[in-house]
Structure 1
Amino acid sequence: MRTKQANLLVALAAFMLFSFSCFCISRMRQTSSQLINCRNHVLEFKESLMRLKNSSENNRKDLLQALSHMQRGPTLGEDMSGAAGLRCLRHVHASNFILKIVPERSSAAGEGDPLRDDGPAAADRFEDMKTFLPHLRRLGRLYPNVVLGKGRRGVSFALGVPTVSRGNHSYLAHTLTYLLARMTPAEARDALLIVAVADNNEDYLHSVVTMIKKKFRWHVQTGGIEVITVPAFFYPELILSGDTATQLKRLYMKQVLDFCILMLYAQPKATYYLQLEDDIIAKRMFFKEMANYVHNIAPDNWFFIEFTELGFIGKLFRSADLPSLVHFFLMFYQDKPIDMLLGYLLLVKMCESMETFADCRQRQREVLIRYKPSLFQHVGTYSSFPGREQLLKVRLGK
């Protein structure tokens, strides 16, 4: 009897040992599988970084080649005579308030003209766009039409506000009121607010100009507000026709180009450039907080400062950096929205060859500064993109 019980205990122990061994083997296989998956993810991530590095190097070479070609190529305006010139001039005439073709040697920017302060150098800034937008090469020297403006420059901050028609809904007057009412007279004298009408609807342009002249007369008379128009034929056929791109993608591409021309126009007028939109409100004393942070608190090595988390709104740049930013945006305007392009530019700018991703991210955090609480907030729900609603909100500082 005892022998039978002993055999039973031995068998039970052997079964338990076998079960435990099977369980351990199963767990080891699972762990091994997880380790293999982790290793594969690491290898994929490494390959992605290498592809990104190679793409960045190729893009850098393309940009250097393009700039070299631009420097060797003719910088003067092309001949506007003949049939091609007549077709171009008819196009200009059909799109009033869109673009100035600055003569090579003339007094087009004479006394009282807002272009007088910039002269030929102003048009030269826009000549670079012909490298990335070949359809503009048939034109002479380009410069946006200044509908309202006194040629103010030498201020600390230029505030760029692009606007398009939203049908029966407009937030532009509300936005300008918030921005200007929350500046002191001294702050207003040290700033320039630039409204860029990026819509070929002349009725909308007329309504914007009339509204600004009526509601903000003092700022117009003192040169604190300027209104420019983005040229209708500045956009390539890819955006105008819509044959090869969806409507949303065409709107994103158009927005990149609108921001680029606004940045180039604002670049020589101020030390810093603040990107805004036409449907925002501003925190009380936003200008004082922004100026104090830039001049007294922010480190010297910042690339740009975010004064709100929403997309491209509230991004502050040094005006000296704007041309290089515009070049990068123009290279990839067909690929991504402008806020994503800015993120990619930061990645390219910060990551060095044979560097770990962690080190790259650390250096990004050192130069990417986000001011809290936000100084700007979206208003309304009607997006500048037709058929879409704007529901993103952030907490606005008191």
Structure 2
Amino acid sequence: MRTKHVNVLFALTAFVLFSFSCFCISRMTQTSSQLINCRNHILEFKEKILHLKNKTERNNRELINALSKVKYEMTQRKNMPVNLVEKKMNTLDKNKTGSNTFEVLKFFFPHLRKVGRIYPDVIIGKEKTGVSFALGISTVSRGNQSYLKQTLNSVVSRMTLSEEKDSVVIVSVADRNEDYLKSVVDMIKKRFKRQLKSGSLEVISIPAFFYPNTLHVKKSAEDSGKLASWRIKQVLDFCFLMLYAQPKAMYYLQLEDDIIAKKMYFTQITDFVHNITSNNWFYIEFSILGFIGKLFKSEDLTDFVRFFLMFYKDKPIDLLLWDIFQVKMCNPGENPEKCAERNKQIRIRYKPSLFQHVGIQSSFPGREQYSKDIYY
């Protein structure tokens, strides 16, 4: 009997030990599986970290290479001699996008819609932007007579270095005569090396395809037709120059190639502009003659150009400048005196005039002009 109890106890103990062993084996298997999963996750995480590290190192190398390239190009550009700054622009390359400022021309001239890029043919200078003032000078050949050197000497030399740094003078050669273009380029390279190197002086050449075919037809007509053609082209020359200058500066000052400037003229202009309390002005007149010495806000230039292009065949540009105020500021049936008074508030006259007309030989062949600004 006692042996029977011992056998039962032994069997029970064996069963308990077997059950415990099974439990332990089960737990160990589960734990082993979890450990394997954990190890796989760690390996996967390690792979991702290694990939991210490699990608970061690659990006750092690319960034360092890009910065080195930019630094090298800036150094090369800084050390580039003036005679290498000149470059030819491919105006007919349709793979390049043109400046948005010139797109307005395609609305008025259908022949330009086939042109991929509207931009000056030649640029000498550094295409300076982000300045306060852009000064535009349009020039054409006057035969054996030229006033451009005198004009540039006057305009450029009467700026301080800080004023020169905050401005850009743009000479626009609006003449198809290659000899005249070369003479202008050679003269400026010789006389104004420092200004070219600093980027404060540029020369552009208007592409021949810009002008409509009707303009070339009129040139072969009689004298009255040639005069009309000359006036039309002059309006278009100014429009192209204004569009080119617009993105460069806050203000645009229109000059001509046969004027001289007063001493300290630029200081007087900047002081006057900065001291104007109202920003409602449309332009400031620093000379009473024609289109000389007219200062515009660059943000308004596109509106002016649009108006000029609507009526470029009808009147000279200085008369169109008067007309635009009549259209914008004078109400139908309004008392002319009220309109004139309102115009004075947005068309500001500065006295004394800061620019004087000195040219006698007109850009129109065989014509002489002796107009002078009496307030200079």
TM tier relative to shorter chain: 0.7 to 0.9
Q: How far apart are residue 370 of structure 1 and its match?
A: 1.0
What is the CA deviation profile of residues 9-48 of structure 1, one whole-angstrom value per residue up to 9, with x for unaligned ones? xxxxxxxxxxxxxxxxxxxxxxxxxxxxxxxxxxxxxxxx
1:162 equivalent in alignment to 2:138: yes
TM-score normalised according to structure 1 size: 0.69
Give the partner amino acid of 1:254: K
The answer to whether residue 207 in structure 2 is matched with residue 231 in structure 1 is: yes
Offset at residue 353 of structure 1 (A): 4.4
1:127 matched residue in structure 2: 103
Contact (CA 8 Å) 2:134, 2:252: kept in 1 or not? yes
- Partner residue of 1:330 out of 296, 309, 323: 309
Runs of at least 4 residues of structure 1 off by over 6 A? 96-99
Instruction: Find out whether 1:320 has 2:299 as its counterpart.
Output: yes
- Displacement, 1:103? 3.6
**Cα displacement (A) at 1:102:** 4.6
In 1, Cα distance between equivalents of 2:119 and 2:291? 24
Q: Relative to 1, partners in 2 of residues 1:236 and 1:150: Cα closer, same or farther, differing over 3 Å?
A: same
1:257 equivalent in structure 2? 236
**Which whole-Å CA distance do the structure 1 matches of 2:158 and 2:192 have between them?**
14
Compute the displacement of 1:280 (Å): 0.4
Per the alignment, residue 360 of structure 1 pairs with 339
How many correspondences in the alignment? Answer: 287
CA distance in 2, matches of 1:253, 1:223: 31
Gap regions ≥5 residues in structure 2: 1-86
What is the distance in 2 between the residues matched to 1:336 and 1:97? Answer: 34
Which residue does 1:288 correspond to in 2? 267
SS at match of 1:365: helix
Contact in 2 for aligned 1:383/1:390 (Cα 8 Å): yes
Which runs of 5 or more structure 1 residues have no equivalent in the other structure? 1-95, 106-119
**What's the CA shift string for 1:228-263, capped at 9, x where partnerless?**
111112111221111677111100100000000100
Partners of 1:268 and 1:319 within 8 A in 2: yes
CA distance in 2, matches of 1:358, 1:206: 50
CA RMSD of aligned residues (A): 1.8
Q: Is the 8 A contact 2:91 2:116 kept in 1?
A: no
Alignment-derived partner of residue 192 in structure 1: 168
Does residue 306 (structure 1) correspond to residue 285 (structure 2)? The answer is yes
Listed one character per residue, the Cα deviations across residues 255-281 of structure 1 (whole Å, up to 9, x for unaligned) are 000000100000000000000010000
**Greater CA drift, 378-387 or 241-250:** 241-250
- 1:344 aligned onto 2:323: yes
1:293 CA displacement: 0.5
Separation of aligned partners in 2, 1:344 and 1:380:
26
Q: Name the CA distance, whole Å, in 1 between partners of 2:89 and 2:178.
A: 10
Superposition pairs of residues 192-211 of structure 1, within 5 angstroms: 192-211=168-187
**Post-superposition CA distance 1:204-240 (Å, at most 9, x none):** 1011111101100000011111111111121112211
Amino acid at match of 1:100: T
CA contact (8 A) 1:308 1:315 kept: yes
CA distance in 1, matches of 2:92, 2:297: 28
Counterpart of 2:350 in structure 1 is 371
Pair 171,298 (structure 1): closer, same or farther in 2 beyond 3 Å:
farther
Opposite residue 138 of structure 2, the aligned amino acid is P
CA distance in 2, matches of 1:327, 1:285: 33
**How many percent identity over aligned positions?**
56
> Distance between the aligned counterparts of 1:230 and 1:141, measured in 2?
13
Q: Give the counterpart letter for 1:270 in structure 2.
A: A
Task: Provide the secondary structure at the position in 2 that maps to 1:214.
Answer: helix
Rg larger in 1 or in 2? 2
> Could you report, residue by residue, the CA deviation over 1:297-347 in whole angstroms, capped at 9, with x for unpaired residues?
464221101100110000000000001111111111011100011100011
CA shift in 2, pair 1:99/1:257, >3 Å:
farther
Confirm or deny: 8 A CA contact 2:101 2:246 kept in the other structure: no
Counterpart amino acid of 2:166? D
1:97 deviates by 6.3
Partner amino acid, structure 2, of 1:143: Y
Secondary structure of the corresponding residue to residue 100 of structure 1: coil
| Deviation of 1:128 (Å) | 1.5
| Residue among 129, 148, 151 paired with 2:124 | 148
Q: Are the equivalent residues in 1 in contact too, given 2:360–2:370 (CA < 8 A)?
A: yes
Shift of 1:135: 1.9
CA contact (8 A) 1:376 1:396 kept: no
